[in-house]
Amino acid sequence: MQVASLGNKWRRSAGQWLAMTGAAAFLLAMVLVTAPSARSNAAETGPSLGVASCAGSTCHGRMTGDGVPVRQDEIAKWQEPSSLGGAHSRAYAVLSNTRSQTIARNLGIGDASSAPMCLGCHSSRAEASGGAFRYQLTDGVNCESCHGAASGWISSHYAGTLPEAQQHADNIRRGMRQLENPAVRAAVCLDCHFGSEGEGQFVTHRIMAAGHPRISFELDLFSTLQAHHNEDSDYIERKGRPDHVRMWAVGQAMAIERALSLFTSARGTEGVFPEFYFYDCHSCHRRIVDSDNANVTAVRNPGRPIPQGMPPFNDENMIMLSAAARVAAPALVSRFDEKARAFHAAMGSNRASATAAARELLAVTAEVRGALAAQSFGPNETRALANAIAGEAIRPRYTDYEGSVQAVMGIDTLLNAMVSGGQITVGAAAAVRADINRAYAAVRDPNTYRPRDFQTSLSSAVRAISAVR
Ligand code: HEC
Ligand code: HEC
Ligand code: HEC
Ligand code: HEC
């Protein structure tokens, strides 16, 4: 089986995309060429009110923003018709497009735009009624899906009688989510950008086989792509200085924790099979070679000692966290790597051993996350991280498309952090961009992905970054 070209029905006019960064172009290409994940976060504090309640012209509904203290054009940004920044406002409309109709037909679920299987991620939850919840459909993914249901805080937030810094803390007490905190933010995004145990928040392999894009996510990069705020001086005063590298690192740990906890839950199996969503797609979707050199399509991977002929668990975030721990939590590296290998190996025995090993890996991952969340990442750490991602110890582990995509997104995030931290100039970064774009190109199409070529282009991107002073 080859993973089919799923996305060619979904197109936009080319002109709309001129201003995209390499990452945005890459994400679009993934949607066009093939396909790309999955909530348990919503312990809501009361009814959600809908976008209209945020839309006043003295609130978040201005046409252009001045950034004092917040932009106030957040709705306009969320509604951008032609950029990834506006993707959430379009999330419900997507369920009526041709591709969704195909997916729904293949799954036999009727109209996708009223199917609970899709609404958990492509629309917003509204208030609970009689134990169940409704969806706020046409908003798509609305403000409160991320910022938390507003009924608890909207009036005090609107009155704004407290000094700015105290106001935020007061909002949080009343149920606004503290999205500047990496772990809080990651938990919110992962509900839909990886999956959760909540209703309608999981893209099973069956949904992907019916035509759903594959889901790819990196917390800091995706935050930037949908950002509708300025990290200016008053933001820093209210919320602290953002550390994009920490955001990246904590995001990696949270993604592993989410994957492992879902794997150990009822989501972990489908029929008599393990849920294929969790595994390296290309371990199954490869050509069959029937010759005396039967092993030509697989590349040995030292990080995942699972018997040959069995699909390995997708370890994209484990690779990244191992690199991050080398720089920022060295005391935990060997235990983390050892538990990760034990998890992969246990997959070859039985489900009970695999879930037991998953719980041990989960525990050490949470420790690593704690260490990373307590760090600040300066110029030296950021460079060391780039080197670790492409370094000797990690490089041989890029044998899988997904892990490689994650590595390029990581390098992209580190470069952006160097620019925003003033460590390298915008001009110098532009020169390095070409190398990063080459690495993105090496993962544009999963069907032409070649591990060795990828490892080479990643190394040259990192050498280019290291050469800039
Ligand atoms: C776990 C959350 C989740 C569920 C459940 C889910 N999706 Fe998605 N869907 C996403 C995300 C996230 C993307 C964006 C993928 C990317 O680009 O990384 C997406 C993208 C898509 C796209 C491509 C985007 C476009 O503009 O055309 C279509 C079509 C789609 N989903 C349809 C569906 C349908 C139909 C269902 C139900 C059968 C469904 N989705 C269920 C999260 C989900
Ligand atoms: C996909 C998730 C998501 C959605 C949807 C979303 N936001 Fe945000 N928003 C964020 C994140 C993440 C931040 C940056 C972190 C922070 O400081 O809170 C942010 C920042 C903001 C800020 C700036 C806060 C500050 O201190 O400067 C405002 C105001 C805001 N959002 C309002 C809105 C409004 C209004 C909507 C709906 C139109 C909305 N957001 C939709 C995730 C989201
Ligand atoms: C309730 C579900 C939900 C939540 C929560 C959510 N997203 Fe999304 N997001 C989606 C869906 C569905 C799409 C695809 C919509 C489309 O194709 O128009 C999407 C698309 C995006 C895109 C555009 C790129 C792409 O893959 O299509 C970015 C960037 C993004 N989300 C970032 C975030 C970030 C960052 C967070 C957390 C702060 C977040 N999202 C939280 C459902 C969600
Ligand atoms: C354990 C093996 C296995 C893994 C891992 C796996 N798949 Fe599949 N895939 C299958 C099988 C079996 C089918 C069904 C083939 C059929 O219906 O004839 C399939 C079908 C598909 C199809 C429909 C293809 C077609 O030709 O109709 C797509 C698309 C797909 N898978 C995508 C993925 C993606 C994306 C991943 C990784 C997240 C993945 N698969 C992981 C075994 C796997």
Residue 271: CB atoms within 10 Å: 7
Atom 3 in ligand 3: residue holding the nearest Cα: 192
| Ligand 1: nearest atom to the Cα of 210 | 38
Closest ligand relative to 87 C-alpha? 3
Task: Give the chain's largest Cα–Cα span.
Answer: 77
User: Taking residues 72-100, what's their average pLDDT?
Assistant: 92
Ligand 3 atom closest to 122 (CA): 12
If you average pLDDT over residues 240-254, what whole number do you get? 96
| Mean pLDDT score, 317-338 | 97
Q: CB of 200 within 8 A of CB of 123? A: no
Confidence of residue 39 (pLDDT cuts 50, 70, 90): very low
Give the residue, out of 121, 194, 225, with the most ligand 1 atoms within 8 A of its beta carbon, to mutate for a pocket test. 121
Cα torsion 288, 290, 296, 302: sign: positive
Best of 208, 269, 313, 405 for a ligand 4 pocket test (most atoms within 8 Å of beta carbon): 208
Distance 141 CA to ligand 3 centre (A): 8
Ligand located closest to 179 CA: 2
Question: If pLDDT is split at 50, 70 and 90, which confidence band does 18 have?
Answer: very low
What is the spatial distance between Cα 402 and Cα 449, in angstroms, rounded to a whole number? 10
State how far the Cα of 283 lies from the Cα of 120, in Å rounded to an integer.
Answer: 29
CA angle 328, 331, 336 (to 5 degrees): 90
Average of per-residue pLDDT values in the chain: 85
Quote the pLDDT of residue 73: 86
Closest Cα to residue 462, out of 410, 401, 386? Answer: 386
Q: Which atom of ligand 4 is nearest to the CA of 2?
A: 26
Confidence category of residue 43, pLDDT binned at 50, 70, 90: very low
Identify the band that residue 165 occupies on the pLDDT scale cut at 50, 70 and 90. Answer: confident
pLDDT, one tens digit per residue, over 387-428 is 999 998 899 999 889 999 999 999 999 999 998 888 888 888
Q: Which atom of ligand 3 is nearest to the CA of 217?
A: 26
Q: Looking at residue 38, what is its pLDDT?
A: 31
For residue 133, the model assigns a pLDDT of 64
How confident is the model at residue 44, as a pLDDT?
A: 52
38 CA: nearest ligand 1 atom: 1
- What's the pLDDT tens digit per position in 352-383? 999 999 999 999 999 999 999 999 999 899 99
* Residue 25: per-residue pLDDT: 57
Q: 414 is written with which tokens?
A: 């580190």
> Does the beta carbon of 180 lie inside 6 Å of ligand 2?
yes
Name the CA dihedral angle for 116, 118, 120, 124, rounded to a multiple of 10 degrees. -100
Ligand 2 mean position, distance from CA 45 (Å): 18
Q: What mean pLDDT comes out for the span 19-38?
A: 42
Spell out which residues line ligand 4, taking CB within 6 angstroms.
Answer: 1, 3-4, 6, 205, 208-209, 214, 276-277, 279, 281, 283-285, 311
Q: How far apart are CA 228 and CA 74, in angstroms?
A: 6
Q: How confident is the model at residue 3 (pLDDT cuts 50, 70, 90)?
A: very low
The amino acid at 408: V
Burial 157-171 (b: 16+ CB within 10 A, else e): beeeeeeeeebbebb
The pLDDT of residue 16 is 27
The answer to whether the CB of 147 is under 6 A from ligand 2 is yes
